[in-house]
Amino acid sequence: MSPHHDCITDFKRGHYSAVSELFNDYYETLVEFAAQLIIHNREAHQIVQETYIKLFGMRDRFDTEADVKAFLYITVRNICFAYIKQEKEETSGEGMETGNKPEIVSTASTDDETTRAVILQKMHGQVALLPDPEQTVFRLLFYDNRSIPSVAEQLKLTPMAVGQSRVQAIRLLREKLIEAGLFTVPGFIYFVAIFCGEQHS
C-alpha cells in the first residue's frame, strides 16, 4: 500500500481505492503462490479472489498492512490445502470445476468512477440471473450480511450446503460477468465484498 495516505482507514471504510491498491500490490504474487501449491492456474485465480472477498468481509478486524498481508498469504495457503484434499478425495477424476468455462480475464474497466458506477449496477442485474438456491444464498450472505449458520437455519439447509451454494454462486456470477463484458478482478471483489452490503444498508 502507498505510504502517502491513510490506507488502513480507506481499507476499513471499504473504499474502492483500497481494493485496487491491494490488488496491485499482492494479487499476481498470490496467484503465483497458489499455482505453485495446486498447479492449476485457473483455480489459483479463483482461490485468490475468494481470499480477497473474505479479507474485505472482515476488514474491521485489521489494523496494519502487515496483518492484511499475513491474512492474504495464510488464507490462500489454507484454501489451497483444502483444494488439494478435496481433489484427492474425488473418485471420478474430476477437479473442483469442470467443463468449458470462460477464461478469467478482464472484460471491462472499473478505474474511472463514473464507468465503475454503471458497471456495478449492471453487475447487480446479473445477480438476478443466478439460479436458486445460489441466488437466494448469495443475497442473504452478501446483501443482507448474514452468517452461514443464520442462512442455513432460515433455509433449513446444513451449513455445508450453504457454503457450497455460496462458492457456486460466486463462480456462476464471475462467469456471467465475464461473458457480459463486465468483469475486472478488483471490480468483482469490490462488488461481492462491499457494494452488495451497501445496497442493503
The CATH number assigned to the domain holding 174 equals: 1.10.10.10
Note whether 58 and 118 are same-domain residues: no
Yes or no: say if 184 and 120 are a contact pair by the CB < 8 Å rule.
no
Note whether 28 and 88 are same-domain residues: yes
39 versus 181: the higher-pLDDT residue is 181
Give the 3-state secondary structure of residue 110.
coil
Note whether 165 and 124 are same-domain residues: yes
Domain endpoint, select from 75, 99, 123 = 99
Q: Which residues contact 108 (CB under 8 A, 6 or more apart)?
A: 119, 181, 182, 183, 184, 187
pLDDT above 70 (res 65): yes
Provide the pLDDT for residue 61.
Answer: 95
Note whether 45 and 27 are same-domain residues: yes
Q: Which residues contact 10 (CB under 8 A, 6 or more apart)?
A: 17, 18
pLDDT above 70 (res 90): no
pLDDT tens across 178-199, in order?
A: 999 999 999 999 999 999 999 8
The residue range of the domain holding 148 is: 106-201
Q: How many domains does the chain have?
A: 2
